[in-house]
Amino acid sequence: MKLKLGVLFGGRSVENEISVVTALQAIEALDKEKYDVVPIYIAKTGKWYSDSKLLTLGNYKDMKGLLSSCEEVFVKPIYGDHNLYSNKKSFFGDKVVATLDVILPTLHGTNCEDGTLQGVLASTGIPFVGCDVLASANGMDKITMKLILQSSGVPVVDYYWFNDKAWYRDKDAVLDAVEKKLEYPVIVKPANSGSSVGIRPAHSREELSDAIDYAATFTTRIIVERMVEKLKEVNCSVLGNYEDCEASECEVPMRSGEILTYSDKYMRGGGKSKGMQSTKRELPAKISENETQLIKDLACKTFRVLACDGVARIDFIKDEEDKRVYVNEINTIPGSLSNYLWDYTGISFPQLLDRLIDQAFARSREASFKVTDFGGNIFTQLGDGAKTGKLGKK
């Protein structure tokens, strides 16, 4: 029998459209003899929809018309309930649209890739592809990620971080602190956004202030990093889990300016975005064998330290002056699922998806063996009229 596979995409994120492209690429590559696909689109409003019309990219030009013709759906946060329900009640109660065996999330960015969605899926007990709540949250937040990597001996560039309240309370104090820690030029980033959204370089105090104001429109936590001026960006994907993983071939994405922009990544397809496949790239990366191996080793170490699962892409910065290599960030649900890197490495997109789905079931089985009930009912030891204060430790 075919597996009923729910493919989740869209989301309350500035990367909603990129997620649609990633999802449709994956759905097209799936072996239809193995999987019965249920497309589940999360709109920017947060509502969930399902319909075969969601499988045609051209339909998204008229988003209002598309969603009005789709069925609004939801899952219940009840462990063991694998049903996808219609929001329309039937005479006999809840209408089941599909009973899902496994879910493939292909969402990017805030509210999607940061542990928020993973928490919802974990509450249902439906096996799902990719990182769990902890790894997703740590991987998405650039501040937390760098703190963890730094403490684990993984090289990252110098940085300074703060929150928007500190910024609005005393802008000069924040600017002084950044300038004390870092020299210009710097790069200002929202801590939890992806696809180069909200990122700006700064070469002066005035530019720094403007860049922070811009970043603060996207997030409450902001990070400023030292800019490596003579840099080469190198990307490497990792497949597996925190115990056993492997690295793909390396690539060098081509940028049009000081930083790799949203347009560089997604809008180089002549107006027909193919997700990260639209990016101009050097594949394989023209770097030495020693540098390639170093990056692959650091990619796997980053993946393991952050307790990742599934497929991720780790982005590196190579300083062309001193030849040092730094981890820039990790994408726990990478654009196009990094299928182009694995295809070059020797694993086709259908094979990649099969492995990811197999890993989802394996993790779910492993989790089922963990203790969630310590046994017994402590309330049976209480006398009648017992107060909550008596439940404390003696």
pLDDT in tens, 86-143: 998 777 778 999 999 999 999 998 889 999 999 999 999 999 999 999 999 999 999 9
Sign of the torsion angle spanned by Cα atoms 361, 363, 369, 371: negative
Instruction: Tell me the β-bridge partners of 319.
Output: 231
- Do residues 212 and 167 lie in contact, with contact meaning Cβ atoms separated by under 8 Å? yes
Residue 394 has pLDDT above 70, yes or no: no
Cβ neighbour number for residue 61 with a 10 Å cutoff = 8
**pLDDT tens digits along 170-217:** 999 999 999 999 999 999 999 987 657 789 999 999 999 999 999 999
Q: How many whole angstroms separate alpha carbon 174 and alpha carbon 34? A: 55
pLDDT digit string, tens, across residues 267-318: 545 445 555 555 688 999 999 999 999 999 999 999 999 999 999 999 999 9
Do 246 and 296 form a contact (C-beta atoms < 8 A)? no
Q: What is the pLDDT of residues 231-241, one digit of tens each?
A: 999 999 999 99
pLDDT digits (tens, 9 = 90+) for 23-80: 999 999 999 999 999 999 999 999 999 999 999 999 999 999 999 999 999 999 999 9
- Segment 138-153 mean pLDDT: 96
Q: What is the mean pLDDT of residues 243-264?
A: 77
pLDDT (0 to 100) of residue 332: 96
Q: What is the mean pLDDT of residues 245-251?
A: 97
What lies within 8 Å, CB to CB, of 354 at 6+ separation is 31, 34
What is the C-alpha to C-alpha distance for residues 336 and 19, in angstroms, rounded to an integer? 8
pLDDT at residue number 266: 45
Contact predicate 135/90, CB 8 Å = no
Q: How far is CA 329 from CA 189, 246, 256, 303, 350, in A?
A: 12, 18, 20, 11, 26
Neighbours of 125 (CB within 10 A): 16
Give the pLDDT band (50/70/90) at residue 262. Answer: very low
Q: How far apart are CA 353 and CA 55, in angstroms?
A: 18
Q: How far apart are CA 285 and CA 291, in angstroms?
A: 10
Arithmetic mean of pLDDT, 255-272: 52
Residue 29 tokens, joined: 């590559």
CA dihedral sign of residues 287, 292, 294, 300: positive
Amino acid at 392: G
Q: Is 202 helix (H, G, I), strand (E, B) or coil?
A: strand
Structure tokens at 198: 């909200």
pLDDT at 378: 78
What pLDDT is attached to residue 386?
66
Chain-centroid distance of CA 30 in Å reads 21
Nearest to 358 by CA among 133, 115, 123, 127: 127
Does residue 230 carry a pLDDT above 50?
Answer: yes
C-alpha 91/C-alpha 296 separation (Å) is 57
Distance (Å, whole) CA 376 – CA 373: 8
Q: How far apart are CA 43 and CA 317, in angstroms?
A: 34
Q: What angle do CA 332, 18, 85 make, to 5 degrees?
A: 80
